[in-house]
């Protein structure tokens, strides 16, 4: 890896994101590729992601105040109030770090208002990173709403949002920031980390949206996970890492899949694997799992429908059983089933028998694997993290020409 030229502001890119694996993981291979190409990159993030970001070669700038958990449940009103409040709290420190680094380009998450405001304040070009679908009228974002949405929410959320937006407007340049829809902050260039084939209503998006596909690069090896114990067919279940999942639900997946698989892998996230109770000998239950490596061997993924997991499953050509939990996941589930790459079930309908019946269809009927293979080709053709880096470099070249 080439040395980082931290003293060359003309070559500096700043990434800003929110503290979620699904938002940060797709950007890490892009950052590593930019560093490999000789660019100095800073990444502004929460403390729990420090090690993963440092592994890319980027300079880590930690947000003050430690990790910031999302509202649980993340209703649209509570989420936009939390994002606006975080922007007020984080912007002084973020702007100080950015002024010290003098970035030529800011890449911020589509739900990161402090990134968009900082770019305006500094007069720096900005690119928005969509690790979800791109959103419009046909594909509404989870935070799409109106003042009526906030007015109907808890008074605490409404007051908090109005106070935060008022302070942002008073202290900073907030032009271009949506009035309410803070999960859909767009720029003149928007990177969408899925394929055009998977994006609903893709024809409705103009050239400012670049569909770069799944961004999958090398991740630090997990020597503690027994990849050598996996026996075909490998069936994998994960409902994400952000919110606690009921042990009953995870246990239902494990016991439903066990008779169908050589090995069943269950990622429990925030739930203690011991809470699932005794499991069949063919089941491996761990809090965290090296997902791309397991998907490379898997015949099925049971997933909450988080976009990061679905993209990685499509990249590996794996059919899915989607159990949406909230946010944009019902839309993702509908798209998976529409394109024939999987089936969906509501959480309240999950039973051992129901899951086993659906899983047997997904593993046994060739049409699901065929559809997943078609989406796999689209993901690979989109270009991934190298394409994303290619889309960002012209902004740096333009900045260098302006500074010359």
Q: What is the pTM of this model?
A: 0.90
List the beta bridge partners of residue 218. none
First and final CA of the chain: distance in angstroms?
28
Task: Please give the pLDDT value at position 87.
Answer: 97
> Which pair of structure tokens corresponds to residue 329?
């996941």
Task: Please give the pLDDT value at position 9.
Answer: 39
Cα separation, 63 vs 41, in Å, equals 16
Task: Please give the pLDDT value at position 43.
Answer: 97
> Alpha-carbon torsion 280, 284, 287, 293, what sign?
negative
H or E element in which residue 237 lies:
strand 234-238
Cα separation, 32 vs 23, in Å, equals 16
CATH topology of domain 227-381: Rossmann fold (3.40.50)
> Which pair of structure tokens corresponds to residue 13?
């890119």
Task: Please give the pLDDT value at position 12.
Answer: 87
In the chain, which segments carry CATH 3.40.50.2000? 9-213+383-403, 227-381
CB 317 within 8 A of CB 371: no
Cα separation, 350 vs 366, in Å, equals 24
Tell me which residue has tokens 């700038």: 61
CATH 3.20.20.140 holds for 9-213+383-403: no
Task: Please give the pLDDT value at position 245.
Answer: 72
CB 23 within 8 A of CB 49: no
**Which ranges of 266-365 does DSSP label H, i.e. alpha helix?**
291-295, 307-316, 329-338, 352-364
Q: What pLDDT tens digit does each residue of the chain (404 aa) get? A: 333 333 443 358 999 999 988 899 999 999 999 999 999 999 999 999 999 999 999 999 999 998 887 776 667 778 888 999 999 999 999 999 999 999 999 999 999 999 999 999 999 999 999 999 999 988 888 787 656 666 667 777 788 889 999 999 999 999 999 988 999 999 999 999 999 999 999 999 999 999 999 999 867 678 889 999 999 999 999 987 655 578 999 999 999 999 999 999 999 988 999 999 999 999 999 998 999 999 999 999 999 999 999 999 999 999 999 999 877 889 999 999 999 999 999 999 999 999 999 999 999 999 999 999 999 999 999 999 999 999 999 988 776 666 65
> Nearest 5°: CA angle at 226, between 220 and 231?
125
Beta strands in 65-218 (DSSP E): 105-109, 126-130, 189-192, 209-211
């Amino acid at each position: 890896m080439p040395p980082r030229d931290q003293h060359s502001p003309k070559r500096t890119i700043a990434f800003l994101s929110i503290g979620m694996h699904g938002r940060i993981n797709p950007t890490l291979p892009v950052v590593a590729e930019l560093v490999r190409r000789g660019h100095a990159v800073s990444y502004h993030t929460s403390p729990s992601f420090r090690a993963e970001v440092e592994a890319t070669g980027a300079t880590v700038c930690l947000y003050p105040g430690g990790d910031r958990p999302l509202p649980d449940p993340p209703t649209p009103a509570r989420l936009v109030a939390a994002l606006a409040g975080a922007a007020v709290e984080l912007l002084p420190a973020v702007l100080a770090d950015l002024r010290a680094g003098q970035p030529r380009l800011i890449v911020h998450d589509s739900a990161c208002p402090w990134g968009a405001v900082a770019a305006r304040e500094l007069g720096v070009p900005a690119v928005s990173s969509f690790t979800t679908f791109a959103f419009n009228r046909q594909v509404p974002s989870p935070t799409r709403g109106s003042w009526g949405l906030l007015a109907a929410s808890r008074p605490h959320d409404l007051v908090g949002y109005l106070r935060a937006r008022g302070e942002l407007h008073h202290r900073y340049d907030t032009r271009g920031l949506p009035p309410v829809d803070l999960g859909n902050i767009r720029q003149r260039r928007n990177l969408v980390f899925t394929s055009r084939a998977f994006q609903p209503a893709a024809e409705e998006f103009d050239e400012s949206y670049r569909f770069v596909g799944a961004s999958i690069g090398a991740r630090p090896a997990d020597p503690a996970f027994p990849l050598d114990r996996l026996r075909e067919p490998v069936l994998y279940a994960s409902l994400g890492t952000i919110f606690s999942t009921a042990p009953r639900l995870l246990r239902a997946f494990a016991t439903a899949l066990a008779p169908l698989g050589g090995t069943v892998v269950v990622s429990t996230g925030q739930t203690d694997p011991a809470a699932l109770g005794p499991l069949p000998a063919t089941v491996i239950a761990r809090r965290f799992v090296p997902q791309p490596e397991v998907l490379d061997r898997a015949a099925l993924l049971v997933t909450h429908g988080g976009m990061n997991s679905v993209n990685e499953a499509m990249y590996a050509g794996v059919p899915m059983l989607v159990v949406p939990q909230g946010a944009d996941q019902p839309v993702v589930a509908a798209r998976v089933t529409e394109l024939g790459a999987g089936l969906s079930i509501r959480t309240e309908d999950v039973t051992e028998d129901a899951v086993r019946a659906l899983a047997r269809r997904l593993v046994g009927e060739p049409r699901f694997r065929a559809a997943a293979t078609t989406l796999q080709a689209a993901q690979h053709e989109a270009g991934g993290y190298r394409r994303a880096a290619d889309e960002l470099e012209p902004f740096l070249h333009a900045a260098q020409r302006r500074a010359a």
